[in-house]
Amino acid sequence: MSNRYRELSVELGERSYPIFIGEGLLGTQDLSAFVSGAQVMIVTNETVAPLYLERAKASFPGKRVDTVVLPDGERFKDWQTLNSIFDGLLEHRHTRKTLLVALGGGVVGDMAGFAAACYQRGVPFIQIPTTLLSQVDSSVGGKTGINHPLGKNMVGAFHQPQAVLIDTASLQTLPAREVSAGLAEVIKYGLIRDQGFLGWLEEHMDALVSLDPEALAEAIFRSCACKAEIVALDEREGGLRAILNLGHTFGHAIETYAGYGNWLHGEAVGTGMLMAAELSALEGMISRDDCDRINRLILRAGLPDKPPVAMTADDFMGLMAVDKKNVDGLLRLVLLRSVGDAVVTAEASPENLALTFARFCS
CA 294 to chain centre: 20
* CB 179 to ligand NAD: min, Å: 10
Q: Which of 127, 131, 160, 162 binds ligand NAD (CB under 6 A)?
A: 131
The catalytically annotated residue of 188, 252, 325, 332 is: 252
In the chain, which ranges are continuous DSSP H helix? 49-57, 79-91, 106-118, 132-133, 176-193, 195-209, 213-233, 248-258, 265-282, 288-300, 313-320, 350-360
- Of residues 51-90, those binding ligand NAD (CB under 6 A): 51, 72, 74, 77
Task: Answer yes or no: 237 catalytic.
Answer: yes
Binding flags for ligand NAD, 249-288, as an x/- string (CB under 6 A): ----------------x-----------------------
What angle do helix axes 106-118 and 79-91 make, rounded to 10 degrees? 60
Nearest to ligand NAD of 101, 353 (CB atom): 101
97 is in an annotated binding site: no
Nearest to ligand NAD of 65, 264 (CB atom): 264
Sheet holding 64-70, edge to edge: 6-10, 17-22, 163-167, 125-129, 99-104, 39-45, 64-70
Asked if 161 touches ligand NAD (CB under 6 A), the answer is: no
CA distance 345 to 347: 5
First to last CA, the chain: 54
How many C-beta neighbours within 10 Å does residue 309 have? 7
For 31, phi and psi rounded to 5 degrees? -100, 5
324 is in an annotated binding site: no
CA distance 325 to 337: 19
* CB 113 to ligand NAD: min, Å: 7
Max distance between CA atoms of the chain, in angstroms, equals: 64
Rounded (5°) CA angle 26-31-34: 145
Asked if 106 touches ligand NAD (CB under 6 A), the answer is: yes
The catalytically annotated residue of 64, 237, 293, 352 is: 237
Stretch near ligand NAD under the rule CB under 6 A, chosen from 93-101, 130-138, 288-296, 351-359: 130-138
Q: Which of 127, 134, 249, 280 binds ligand NAD (CB under 6 A)?
A: 134
Asked if 162 touches ligand NAD (CB under 6 A), the answer is: no
CA distance 49 to 15: 29
73 is in an annotated binding site: yes
Stretch near ligand NAD under the rule CB under 6 A, chosen from 6-14, 59-67, 89-97, 106-114: 106-114
Binding footprint of ligand NAD, residue count (CB under 6 A): 27
Task: Answer yes or no: 248 catalytic.
Answer: yes
Q: What is the rounded radius of gyration, in angstroms, for the C-alpha atoms of the chain?
A: 20
Asked if 44 touches ligand NAD (CB under 6 A), the answer is: no
231 is in an annotated binding site: no
Q: Which of 107, 165, 231, 277 binds ligand NAD (CB under 6 A)?
A: 107
Task: Answer yes or no: 245 catalytic.
Answer: yes
Q: Which of 22, 88, 141, 247 binds ligand NAD (CB under 6 A)?
A: 141
Closest CA to 182 of 252, 133, 255, 109: 133
Task: Answer yes or no: 265 catalytic.
Answer: yes
Asked if 253 and 275 touch (Cβ cutoff 8 Å), the reply is no
Side chain identity, residue 327: V
Asked if 143 touches ligand NAD (CB under 6 A), the answer is: yes
Asked if 99 and 35 touch (Cβ cutoff 8 Å), the reply is yes
Asked if 178 touches ligand NAD (CB under 6 A), the answer is: yes
- Binding-site positions for NAD(+) read 72-77, 106-110, 130-131, 143, 152
- Binding-site positions read 72-77, 106-110, 130-131, 143, 152, 185, 248, 265
The catalytic residue positions are 121, 143, 185, 227, 237, 241, 245, 248, 252, 265
The binding site for ligand NAD (CB under 6 A) comprises: 45, 47-48, 51, 72, 74, 77, 104-108, 110, 130-131, 133-134, 137-138, 141, 143, 153, 170, 173-174, 178, 265
